[in-house]
Amino acid sequence: MVTEAMLVAAIDAMPVEFDSHDVILEVAHNNQSAYVAHLHSENPSDTPFQNVHARLGSEIARICRSRNYVEEQGRSKDIFRQMSRCMFWKKVA
């Protein structure tokens, strides 16, 4: 399962401006077994990626808000290269 520590590490690795899809891709790339386990935990579901990504997006938002990052809603390509809604974040000094 994807942990808060994995999300924090991925957020810390992001540039000044990033979106939630960027964080999810970073987590999936660097923690493949945990990411797959998280997806598998959605069984039986026809939309495990959507369900897991929505939950991860909420956790990412919680972490970024706790750091007082600037947020804006927008659209970017998801893991399937489809344009979908997500949050954009900007780290502040």
What are the tens digits of pLDDT across the range 38-75? 999 887 788 999 999 999 999 999 999 999 999 999 99
What are the tens digits of pLDDT across the range 10-41? 999 999 999 999 999 999 999 999 999 999 98
pLDDT at 44: 79
What residues does each domain of the chain span? 4-90
C-alpha–C-alpha distance, residues 18 and 40, integer Å: 27
pLDDT at 39: 92
H helices, E strands: number in the chain: 4, 3
pLDDT at 23: 98
Q: Contact 79/25 with Cβ under 8 angstroms?
A: yes
| Predicted structure pTM score | 0.94
Question: Does pLDDT of 93 surpass 80?
Answer: no
